[in-house]
Amino acid sequence: MTTNKTQCFTCNKDKITYLCDGCLKNFCLMDLTKHRQLLNEELHYIINDYDQFKQIFCEQKPSLHDLSLIDQINQWEINEINKIKQKAKDYRETVIKSSQIFLNDIEMKFNDLNGQLKQFHDENEFNEINLEYLRTELLKMREELNNPPTTFIQPDSLPFTDEILVISLEKKLKWDKWKQNAITVAGGNGYGDKLNQLCLPAGIFVDENKNIFIADYSNHRVVEWKYNSKEGKIVAGGNGKGNRMNQLNLPTDVIVDQQNHSIIIADWQNRRIVQWVNRNQQILIDNIDCSRLAMDKHGLLYVSDYKKNEVRRWKVGEYNEGIVVAGGNGKGDQLNQLNFPACIFVDEEESVYVSDQNNHRVVKWRKDAKEGTVVAGGNGKGENLNQLSVPQGVIVDNFGQIYVADFCNHRVMRWCEEKEEGEIVAGGNGKGNQSNQLNVPMGLSFDNEGNLYVADYLNHRIEKFEIVL
């Protein structure tokens, strides 16, 4: 309040007045007191309205109408469940029969290739052409095994259940979306070892300048593709398959420690984690069946071990035993177990997300937890929205939403922890090489603008799905 000799707004007399900061009017002392009393009464009215509304809200219970709807849904469930069980039994028998035929065919091819391998080994008469033939045949069998051609599921245009529709007026949040036709930002020129080609790209890392580092699996190298480049640059390996310090053998993942500008690689077949700094190499961890890598905000290194079915954390410079942060209780599907852990992600709270590959789920292990929580999948292998099939790449955004490379379903899924099913955000249009298709996606990454990058494994390319602003 400030004082002035002016006219009072209420009594219209010249007096020492006080300015009300709320209504910007001048009042004498007596009228100001009355003005404040009116304001206090109005505040009490608002408080009373709030208390009455809160009481009504707290007394809300399900209405008879709501209970009646639930009874109808329960009755519908009872009526339809037997029909579903019988149909499911018929479908399972069909799938098992078809799958057995496919597996028998693959087994015959395995036996044939085994005979050829044995013959080459025993007779010791082979050359580069023979080796390329064997490598190509093995790649064909791997692709065929990952993509069984004989059986698929499609919606029936005449459903046998009597559908019901429950309509809710719940408001939905607006989630990020990406353009469904991707841009190829690396590779895409057939599989090969030229600088504009890739061969089975696995893990990827996108730095703050949108440069992409790629674990080029079958080329035994790590390649960096600068932003908008037409070809890559070899930054690790590229000296043929081997276990020398300047070689790699089927690298599966790569991360860049941007503090010391080093590249850390999961050198899968050599069973080691290696660090490359300016083309100089050192082994960080040896004798480990490493699958994938991650690094937290403190620079601690995390490695998934697919044979020990665990994830360990190491402090940089102290690569001894490490600390188990997920799994480590043998192979299995319990909440304290893993079955072939693949990709991993560590969030700001140091929770570890693990693609539990052979359990077809993603499990979240909070810091120092003794068991995990299933946050995606976990309903058996399948292509329904509540299922995953051999999940690979996993990343989590700032809102805690989980993105999963759904390997055998050729799609990228987004899951929220509290939801029972996910949604497709990229791919999901069948296996293929069109711009809206994927062929067994592996690694995932975001850039600093929220664009989504996918290592499109069997298409030998990196796809960028641009965010819709």
Q: Which of the four pLDDT bands, split at 50, 70 and 90, describes residue 148? A: low
Q: Which of 396, 469, 411, 449 is nearest to 227 (CA)?
A: 449
Residue 462 to residues 89, 259, 271, 403, 405, Cα–Cα distance (Å): 40, 25, 26, 17, 13
Coil, helix or strand for 50?
A: helix
First to last CA, the chain: 48
Beta-bridge partner residues of 392: none
Percent of all residues in the chain with a pLDDT value above 70, rounded to a whole number: 90
Helices (H) and strands (E) in the chain — how many of each? 3, 27
Q: What is the pLDDT of residues 228-237, one digit of tens each?
A: 999 999 999 9
Q: What is the pLDDT of residues 272-292, one digit of tens each?
A: 999 999 878 999 999 999 999
Q: What pLDDT was estimated at residue 207? A: 92
User: 298 is written with which tokens?
Assistant: 């403190």
Q: What is the pLDDT of residues 419-467, one digit of tens each?
A: 889 999 999 999 999 999 999 999 999 999 999 999 999 999 999 999 9
Query: Residue 407 gets which letter from DSSP?
Result: G
As a dihedral over the C-alpha atoms of residue 123, residue 127, residue 129, residue 132, rounded to 10 degrees, the angle is 80
Q: What pLDDT was estimated at residue 168? A: 47
Strand order across the beta sheet in which 262-267 lies: 251-257, 262-267, 272-277, 280-286
- Tell me the residue type at 350: E
Cα separation, 3 vs 53, in Å, equals 41
Between 137-141, 312-316, 334-338, 353-357, the lowest mean confidence (pLDDT) is in: 137-141
What CATH fold (topology level) applies to the domain 183-465? Neuraminidase (2.120.10)
Domain residue ranges of the chain, discontinuous segments joined by +: 6-57, 183-465
Rounded-to-5 percentages of helix, strand, coil across the chain: 25, 35, 40
